[in-house]
Structure 1
Amino acid sequence: MSTMPQLSPELTKALHEGLAIPAHPLALNENRQLDERYQRALTRYYIAAGAGGIAVGVHSTQFEIRLPEIGLFEKVLRIAAEEAERHKPDRPFLKVAGICEPTAQAVAEAQTAAGLGYDAGLLSMGGLKGWSEEELLKRTEAVARIIPVFGFYLQPSVGGTILSYDFWRRFADIPGVVAIKMAPFNRYQTIDVVRAVCSSDRRNDIALYTGNDDNIVNDLLTVYRFPVNGELVEKRIVGGLLGHWAVWTRKAVELLEEIKRVRNQSGLDAEWLTRNIEITDSNAAFFDPAHHFEGCIPGIHEVLRRQGLLPGRWCLNPQEELSEGQMEEIDRVYRDYPHLNDDAFVSAHLSEWLNG
């Protein structure tokens, strides 16, 4: 019997059915200080939009919140947890805390998150250059003793590390791992993770989530099938934990629910392939791959600013701003894909979120 912390049966069931989990941004005022009113409004928006959870303290929340001179990690986690409790939806709602850094700090962050009532920790392998895969696995085991682990394969262009199939195979065997978010933005590496999980005796205990903002729809529609010990094993990516879903969240929730309804049908409509491209094109405007994702967080902020959910697009790092031409790209996808935004939904409820 595992002594690792476990999710409740209700949350486990919801996690495996598939949830839309936005990566929570950080609301700052013009002085680049936390704007608590807007920070709370964002959490209320995600709950009202139908999200199945939130991920706080992750890349979209800005890693600088951990710096001693800023010291916002515990505060932003606490605010989100308070709002999730205050506006508790009548559905399972998974609170995920971002966890990073070397083992000692990762363990401390896990303890903080668990103490605040978070259900799982999204454990990043980024920023640990020079660490062996063995060291990363031991770090995972240390965190899993404190909080259920949501694994995270981060793309190298924003600080991630290429990890082997063998790493993910062993990672899947760790009893405290409940899910893995795949965000290498690479089909080969995504397949490595799914195949590794399928080969593990724990494959039915681990839910797979897309973080591939460049391939969201296709990831959610695909059945992965691999021969394991003489039999075919199938597994799906059931939901998403995405920075892209931090904006236009109501439409993202509707998208996932629609995919759940159709993905077991034979003869899927080819229109889904077009929908995938529309969403990827929109993501390119927000995430700025044309400039190595340098405008990613300001891009998310700009969309939320336009909707009134943020007072501006300020980041903790003054150097983080929209890249050249990015504003025009956001204008373009707003114009070209009006069916993807949830502006009307936000407009109808913004006042109550800001004043609730």
Structure 2
Amino acid sequence: MMKFSNPEVLDKLMEGGFIPAHPLALNSDLTIDEQSHRRLTRYYLACGVDGIAIGVHTTQFEIRDPQFNYYRQVLKITADELSRSGKAGSLIKVAGICGPVNQALEEAEIAQSLGYDLGLLSMGGLNDLSEDQLLDRTRQVAKVIPVFGFYLQPSVGGRVFSYDFWKKFCDIPNVCAIKTAPFDRYQTLDVVRAICHSGREPEIALYTGNDDNIVNDLITSYRFKVGDRVVEKRFVGGLLGHYAVWTKKSVELFRHLKEGLRKGTLDYPAVLQTGVEVTDMNSAIFDVAHRFKGSISGIHEVLIRQGLIKGIWCLSPEEKLSEGQREEIDRVISQYPHLVDDIFVKEFLLNDSKG
């Protein structure tokens, strides 16, 4: 049985939630801009999100570097703001967990102590470990906090795993969800098939992290023959960097898709067209033209324009807007105004300043 302390949150996780990957607000001297960071958290809550993921790729992996050592501080600030909202008990609170076993266990303990429900366990940067060693690492972390598996694309530090790895991964009792973000249909299928063949398919929630295929993932049914029965699995939610910007419109689209699937009322040609538009917008903010080099900076650029954070500053000097990326963001904003939430953000900032 899964070790999950909050049944309400577990139900929401399994039903499918909208979870933005929370960016890090910084000052020009690379200290944490706590005021802007808290405001950003309040913005996501005002948009109607189902949870928050912090300490993840979008938050910048460098928060763990010794010269910054921001991991605990960032998690604590975010958890405190969620508590202030009065909504913490019903939100899916996810903390990113990275590194070798000792580091991962330390981060899991920090997250658990601060009230996070799950650890999004990255396998990035561990190419010296075998698949079996990574599975053992997962088992150890799962003893501390429920695990949200994470298939990270190689372009940003991930690696390719075998189907057998994911099959064994699903067998770990305290694995509660898996985010697939390889940006690859073949590798995504490996994860879905592994869940269906694990015998734990009702206990593992499937979340999309494929920012290039968000809408398609959310409306697609996967079916596999397992023994003498057919097992069906769907992506029930999303945990995405894309959800960190234009969030109100993304929440509305997510709710529309979920309700349409439940009622059988989706206009699939229209939905698929919207999916193309979302992918085009993502290509600009994630800097696909330059192999995702400016993905975090692209998110920051949108948030700066809206007045939610003060600057594009990142902890890594390598993380900056690529040539032509700002113009690409201009293009998609102009092309798809119905997917931009500038009006909502202005109203939010006005009301937030009064509070």
Assess if the C-alpha contact under 8 Å between 2:257 and 2:266 holds in 1.
no
**Distance across 2 between alignment mates of 1:352 and 1:266:** 35
Unpaired runs of 5+ in structure 1? none
Q: What amino acid maps onto 1:281 in structure 2?
A: D
Match of 1:302 in 2: 301
Assess if the C-alpha contact under 8 Å between 1:95 and 1:120 holds in 2.
yes
**Distance across 2 between alignment mates of 1:320 and 1:218:** 29
| Structure 1 length-normalised TM | 0.97
Following TM superposition, by how much is the alpha carbon of 1:253 offset from its aligned partner in structure 2, in angstroms? Answer: 1.0
Comparing 319-328 and 89-98, the one that deviates more: 89-98
Assess if the C-alpha contact under 8 Å between 1:22 and 1:55 holds in 2.
yes
Match of 1:336 in 2: 335
Assess, with a 3 A threshold, how the Cα gap between structure 1 residues 101 and 12 changes in structure 2: closer, same or farther.
Answer: same
Match of 2:10 in 1: 12
Cα RMSD (Å) of the superposition?
1.4
Tell me the percent identity.
59
**Distance across 2 between alignment mates of 1:120 and 1:207:** 12
2:268 aligns to what SS in structure 1?
coil
Following TM superposition, by how much is the alpha carbon of 1:317 offset from its aligned partner in structure 2, in angstroms? Answer: 1.6
Assess if the C-alpha contact under 8 Å between 1:7 and 1:148 holds in 2.
no
Match of 1:185 in 2: 183
Give deviations 1:204-226, integer Å, cap 9, x for gaps.
Answer: 00000000000000000000000
Match of 1:78 in 2: 76
Following TM superposition, by how much is the alpha carbon of 1:267 offset from its aligned partner in structure 2, in angstroms? Answer: 7.3
2:177 aligns to what SS in structure 1?
strand
Assess if the C-alpha contact under 8 Å between 2:123 and 2:134 holds in 1.
yes
Q: 2:115 aligns with which of 109, 114, 117?
A: 117
Assess if the C-alpha contact under 8 Å between 1:5 and 1:146 holds in 2.
no
Match of 1:100 in 2: 98
2:90 aligns to what SS in structure 1?
coil
1:107 aligns to what SS in structure 2?
helix
Following TM superposition, by how much is the alpha carbon of 1:88 offset from its aligned partner in structure 2, in angstroms? Answer: 2.4
Give deviations 1:80-134, integer Å, cap 9, x for gaps.
Answer: 0001010123982111000010010000000000000101000001110121110
Give deviations 1:310-332, integer Å, cap 9, x for gaps.
Answer: 10111112232100000000000
Following TM superposition, by how much is the alpha carbon of 1:255 offset from its aligned partner in structure 2, in angstroms? Answer: 1.0
Following TM superposition, by how much is the alpha carbon of 1:201 offset from its aligned partner in structure 2, in angstroms? Answer: 1.5
Assess if the C-alpha contact under 8 Å between 1:182 and 1:210 holds in 2.
yes
Match of 1:312 in 2: 311
Q: Aligned ranges for residues 267-306 of structure 1 at < 5 Å?
A: 268-306=267-305
Match of 1:161 in 2: 159
1:227 aligns to what SS in structure 2?
strand
Unpaired runs of 5+ in structure 2? none
Assess, with a 3 A threshold, how the Cα gap between structure 1 residues 203 and 117 changes in structure 2: closer, same or farther.
Answer: same
Match of 1:325 in 2: 324
Assess if the C-alpha contact under 8 Å between 1:20 and 1:241 holds in 2.
yes
Match of 2:232 in 1: 234
Q: 1:246 aligns with which of 207, 222, 244?
A: 244
**Distance across 2 between alignment mates of 1:279 and 1:247:** 12
Following TM superposition, by how much is the alpha carbon of 1:355 offset from its aligned partner in structure 2, in angstroms? Answer: 6.8
Question: Structure 1 segments of 4 or more deviating over 6 A?
Answer: none
Match of 2:201 in 1: 203
**Distance across 1 between alignment mates of 2:145 and 2:352:** 30
Comparing 211-220 and 255-264, the one that deviates more: 255-264
Q: 1:143 aligns with which of 120, 141, 144?
A: 141
Assess if the C-alpha contact under 8 Å between 2:260 and 2:266 holds in 1.
no
Assess if the C-alpha contact under 8 Å between 2:82 and 2:88 holds in 1.
no
- Equivalenced residues, count: 354
Assess, with a 3 A threshold, how the Cα gap between structure 1 residues 27 and 266 changes in structure 2: closer, same or farther.
Answer: closer
1:44 aligns to what SS in structure 2?
helix
